[in-house]
Each structure stands twice: as C-alpha cells, then as structure tokens.
A and B are shown apart, each in its own frame.
Chain A
Amino acid sequence: MDIDDILAEVTADAIPQEQKDLQQLTRSWVAERVAPELLAWPEELMERVLERIRKQIELVEDQTGNMDPKTNFKLIIIQTELERFKFLVRSFLRARLKKIDQHALHYKQQHEASQTTSTPLLSPNEYQYLTAHEALLSTHYTSSFLSQFPANLQRLDDTTGGVSMVDKPDEDAAVFVRALKDVGQIFVEGTEKKFEIRRGDVYVVRWSAIRRWVELGDLELI
C-alpha cells in the first residue's frame, strides 16, 4: 500500500453514503436492463434506498400545504428528485420481474441453489411472486389440458433424453462492458479469442465470458 492508496481511501471515505448508493443503484439498474440474465438481489442497498425514499415521502407529506413560496420551491426540488429515485427503483424491479416471468422455472432452481450463499438471487417478495405465479399457471395448465395427457407427459420440468424442458436465457449474448479495474486476460471459451481488459476499456463481449467480473464489481455493464 503506498501513499496513493491511502489518499484514495481517505477520499473514498469522505464521499457520503447517499452518493455511493445512488451510483450503485444506477449501476444495478443499467446492469439489470442490459444483462441477459437475472443478477443477484442487492439486499442491503435496496433496504437503505427504500428506507430513505420512505422518509422523504413523509417529509413531503408534512410540508405540503405550506404556502411560503421559498419552502414551496424547495419542495419542488425534493419532489423532482424523489420521482427520479422512484423511477429508478420501479424500472429496476420491473426489469427483474420480466426476467422472472420469462424463465420462471430456471430462476426458481437457481434461487434455491443460491439460498445457502450470502447473495440469494431473489428478494423474499420476488420469490413469493414467482412461486404464486408458477402455482397459478400450473393449476391452469393442468385443468385445461395437461390432465388429458398420459401421466408420463404431464411434467413441466422433464429432462428425459438429456434435454431439459426448462428454458434458459441466452448466456452467450453479446453485452457492452466498461472496466472499473484492470481485469487481465479474458478467454472466450470455445474460440481462440484472448484479450486483455484494462481499467477504462469498453468492450463488446459475450456475457458468459465476463459474468464473473461483473459480479465482483470489476466490470460494469453499460
């Protein structure tokens, strides 16, 4: 650790948590809108952001009705910012819901596998939504046509013949990434492609080749 590291740490500590959370929320939103796969639920970040939004709404409700033009203008600014935050959160959640709807069974399996780790894939609410929605769908399928099928063809997650019925997102889809740190050599599996990503570089690359570094926070999706 040299003097630059120490200085960088001091300045990083001086940046208020609110500003860091805004950067992170923005990054999570862009990543979720762009990534072909559902990303892990940022639990602590969302807790902090939602708590702050709740407090800000209370403040706005408290102060509306105040006719003083000065306070009024302040309230306009606060409300504008509040709406921007609400948009970010809402769009983020809706992008996740879309992916959950598209590949429900796949994410259900993934979530159950990730539950023992420190970063579960879905929030409790999302998991509840997924299971309830899935239950409704399969009841509907059963009552409308599946029950007419022979018993061995009624499953929705069959894997006979080495082919899984559960649909997966395209993990090899091309994405745009920006390096926040030096990442080093990247190999694209199945090809001869090798290249080095340095801090600040922008690349178009397969999601499966760089997913690891996006999860670590060394690369960001753009």
Chain B
Amino acid sequence: MALPLPPGLTPPEIAFLCEMELVTVIPRQRLEGLDLLGGNLRPLNPPHRTPLPLWLALLLKRQRRANMVPPPWLSQHSLEAILDYETEHDDVFSPPPRLPSAPSNNALAFSPPFLSSSTADAAADALPYHWLELGEMLLEAASDDFEDPDTMRKLLRGLREVRMAKLRKIVEKLDADGGVKMNGIGAMEIGEGRAFVGGVIDGLRKIAASREQQRKDRDRDEMENGFSGTADDDEMEMA
C-alpha cells in the first residue's frame, strides 16, 4: 500500500499537476454547467471563449468538441524573445510571470497550477512554471490550433536545452549550506534536477557535518553566554 517511490514527483505526476492549469478554449458544442469537485464548470456556449482546466480542454479537443487558444507566450515572437534572454544571461533563468497582487494575511495564497498563467489573456513575456509540459501537451493534442507548430517545437527544444545547461551549471554554486536561489525554474526542470541537486547538497553536508556540529555548539555557547551577559546588565541598570 505504501508508495514505493522516492521523494519528489515523477514526470507523469508533474504532467498531472500541469493538467490543472487553466487554458482558453473556443467550444464547438454547447455544454450545460456542471458541478465538479473542484468548483462549478461554467456552461459552454459556442463561440464564446471560456477558460477550462487543461485536462478537460484536452478531453474536449480529442473529441473535436472544442478548439484551443494557445497562450500568448506560446507564440513564435514571445518564445524567440525569451530564448534571446536565456542565451544572453547565462547564470539566471528568464523571470517568471508577474505575480497577482498579494492576498491579505488570512486569505489562501494561490500558486501554480492555479494562477491562470496560460489562458488567452496571460502575460506574453514570461515562461510559466509548467511551460514545458503545457507546451508539449498542447502541441501534441492541438497542433492544428497553432499557425506553425514545427517552429514552436523547435523553439521549445532550444529553450529546454539552454535552461538544462544552466541547471547543470548551478551545480558549481552548490555547497553544503543550501540556500540557492532558482527563480524562474520550471516544474519539469525541478523534477529532473531534484535528485542530483539534492544529492550534491546532502552529500557535501555529510562531509562537513563534524565542522558544522562544532560551530553549532560554539554558537549555542555564545548565545547562552551572551544572554546571561545582557541579563546581568539589565539587573545592574535596575539596581
């Protein structure tokens, strides 16, 4: 019964997550609203564009009940611009899409795959968290909704290679302490890099473990002495 998998998500699981992303479809058939477990489904009225989760959009598309509207970033112009950025800056990933305004303190903060970063009105200048999976799935199931699917595939492949090279380069920055910033990284890239990056950090940590323990003990001693010192000062002042 227990899950036999190591920590981390497998590629099919990452694709499963990605299928929760909202995409825009143009329905070709009417469909009444439905009460789904993840919230109500709005009725589909052709030819009104409607945002739907990707799994449902793919289901409708495969049965030719809808057409997809590719997200703005999945276009030749945008991908070329992002690819240029990626090649020019060889130590950071291109920045992720801008975040929506921050929720107030008690509200639940939404994060990918629930940010609608791939609907028809999403930002055109940034790759969302699930860019690789989403691009591949859309190109596979709905290549007829793209003007030039082969160029898209080529650009996605190029992006993937540049970014994987960066991920491999990050290894030089890794040390036993962790704390490496990786803004803009994609879900599939984390999935691929997790075992390696985590393994390197954990391995280095084990090598440095005894030195670290010494430091921890020293810090703790200093802290205790420091606290007792200030306490004495306070007492002096009180007196």
Chain A contacts to B: CB under 8 angstroms = 1, 4-5, 7-9, 12, 15-16, 18-24, 26-27, 30, 33-36, 49, 52-53, 56, 73-74, 76-78, 80-82, 84-85, 87, 91, 94-95, 97-98, 100-101, 170, 172-176, 178, 180-181, 186, 188-193, 195, 199-206, 209, 217, 220, 222
Q: Main SS of the interface on chain B?
A: loop
Chain A residues lying within 8 Å of B231, measured Cβ to Cβ, are none
Chain B residues lying within 8 Å of A52, measured Cβ to Cβ, are 37
A195 with B202: CB separation less than 8 A: no
Give the one of A36, A74, A77, A188 with max B CB within 10 A. A77
Bound-state CA distance A191–B205 (Å) is 10
The number of inter-chain residue pairs (CB within 8 angstroms) is 180
The contact sample of 8 A-B pairs, CB cut-off 8 A, is A18-B40, A26-B17, A73-B31, A74-B31, A74-B32, A91-B13, A101-B2, A190-B213
Return the CB mask of B1-13 against A: 1 if under 8 Å, else 0: 1111101110001
Chain B residues lying within 8 Å of A94, measured Cβ to Cβ, are 1-3
Q: How many residues of B contact A (CB 8 A)?
A: 62
Specify which of B36, B179, B212 is in contact with A81 (CB 8 Å cutoff): B36
Bound-state CA distance A94–B104 (Å) is 34
A18 with B38: CB separation less than 8 A: yes
Chain B residues lying within 8 Å of A21, measured Cβ to Cβ, are 38
B121 at the interface (CB under 8 A from A): no
A173 with B3: CB separation less than 8 A: no
Closest beta carbon of chain A to B182's beta carbon, Å: 5
B198: nearest chain-A partner, CB-CB: A174
Chain B contacts to A: CB under 8 angstroms = 1-5, 7-9, 13, 16-17, 19-20, 31-32, 34, 36-41, 55-56, 59, 96, 99, 101-104, 107-111, 113-114, 174, 176-185, 187, 190, 194, 197-198, 201-202, 205, 212-213, 215-216, 219
Specify which of B16, B40, B96 is in contact with A200 (CB 8 Å cutoff): B96
Chain A residues lying within 8 Å of B185, measured Cβ to Cβ, are 202
Contacts A8-B101, A9-B104, A18-B38; A205 near B56 (Cβ below 8 A): no
Nearest 3 A-B pairs (CB), nearest first? A12-B107, A193-B177, A98-B2
A19 with B176: CB separation less than 8 A: no
B108 with A199: CB separation less than 8 A: no
A30 with B179: CB separation less than 8 A: no
Closest beta carbon of chain A to B51's beta carbon, Å: 12
A176 with B109: CB separation less than 8 A: no
B8 with A33: CB separation less than 8 A: yes
B39 with A173: CB separation less than 8 A: no
Give the one of B113, B174, B178 with max A CB within 10 A. B178
Chain B residues lying within 8 Å of A222, measured Cβ to Cβ, are 187, 190
Bound-state CA distance A198–B75 (Å) is 30
Bound-state CA distance A195–B201 (Å) is 17
Bound-state CA distance A205–B181 (Å) is 9
Contacts A23-B110, A33-B8, A220-B111; A199 near B38 (Cβ below 8 A): no
Closest beta carbon of chain B to A28's beta carbon, Å: 12
Chain A residues lying within 8 Å of B201, measured Cβ to Cβ, are 174, 204, 206
